[in-house]
Chain A
Amino acid sequence: EAGVVQSPRYKIIEKKQPVAFWCNPISGHNTLYWYRQNLGQGPELLIRYENEEAVDDSQLPKDRFSAERLKGVDSTLKIQPAELGDSAVYLCASSLAGYEQYFGPGTRLTVT
C-alpha cells in the first residue's frame, strides 16, 4: 500500500514569492491534515479536512496561506507571498475516520 505522497521534497524561494505544496493521501483515507514543523519543534496543525470540507483551520494564517482539497482526495497548500519566517517543513498526514495518522515525507521550504 502506498503511503502519503508529497511534492516537492525541497523548495527554495525568495521572500515575497508564491509557493505551493501538493499532497496525495493514502487511498481511502477521508481525513487529511497539513502540519508545519519548525526546526527543533514538534509539528503544529495548520488545517484539517474531512473529505472536501475544512473542519479546523483555526491555526492557518489566512492572510497569506490557503488550502484546498478538491474531490476529497489530493490537497494543495499555498503561501503567497512567502516570508522568511515561513521556512519550515510542511507535513501532510491522512487518517481513516480520524484514527491513527500517517505522515508523508514532508516538504522542506527555505525562504531567502
Chain B
Amino acid sequence: KQEVTQIPAALSVPEGENLVLNCSFTDSAIYNLQWFRQDPGKGLTSLLLIQSSQREQTSGRLNASLDKSSGRSTLYIAASQPGDSATYLCAVRSGGSEKLVFGKGTKLTVNP
C-alpha cells in the first residue's frame, strides 16, 4: 500500500527566501507524481506533474524533482512571495492504478 509523507507539516519563512518542501513515498513503482497548491476553503490547483521517467519539471519560480529509487520528491520555490502562502500537497499515482495517494500537505506561510 502506497503511503505518502510530507515534511515539514508547516513552514514559515520571510519574503524573498528560497525554500524546499519534501515528499516521500513508500512504493517506488509510480506512474507519476503531482504537486498541488490549496488555498484556504478552495480546491486543488495543479502546479507540476512529473512522469516516472522524468527527473524534474519547472514552471516559473517552481522546480520539482523526482528520485524514484529513494522514494523522494522535492518542490523548490525560489524568491518566495506572500502570495505563495498556501498548503502544498504531494500526490503519487502508482503504476497500474489511476488512484492518487496524497500526503497531508505542508502549510507554507511567507511573511512580508
Task: Tell me whether A42 is interfacial, beta carbon within 8 Å.
Answer: yes
Query: Which residues in chain B, 74-112, are within 8 Å of chain A measured between CB atoms?
Result: 89, 91, 98-100, 102-105
- Given A100-B34, A101-B34, A108-B41, check contact A43 B46 (CB 8 Å): no
A42 contacts B89, C-beta separation under 8 Å: yes
Please encode chain A, from 34 to 52, with 1 for each CB lying within 8 Å of some chain B CB and 0 for all others.
0000001111110010000
A42 contacts B103, C-beta separation under 8 Å: yes
Partner of A45, one of B4, B41, B100: B100
Partner of B42, one of A44, A102, A105: A105
How many residues of chain A are within 8 Å of chain B by beta carbon?
23
- Given A40-B104, A41-B104, A42-B4, check contact A48 B99 (CB 8 Å): yes
How many residues of chain B are within 8 Å of chain A by beta carbon?
19
* Least Cβ–Cβ distance between A97 and chain B, in angstroms: 10
Report which B residues bind A (CB closer than 8 A): 4, 34, 36, 41-46, 49, 89, 91, 98-100, 102-105
Known: A100-B46, A102-B46, A105-B42. 12 other contacts (CB 8 A): A4-B43, A31-B98, A42-B105, A43-B89, A43-B102, A45-B99, A48-B98, A48-B99, A91-B44, A101-B34, A106-B42, A108-B41
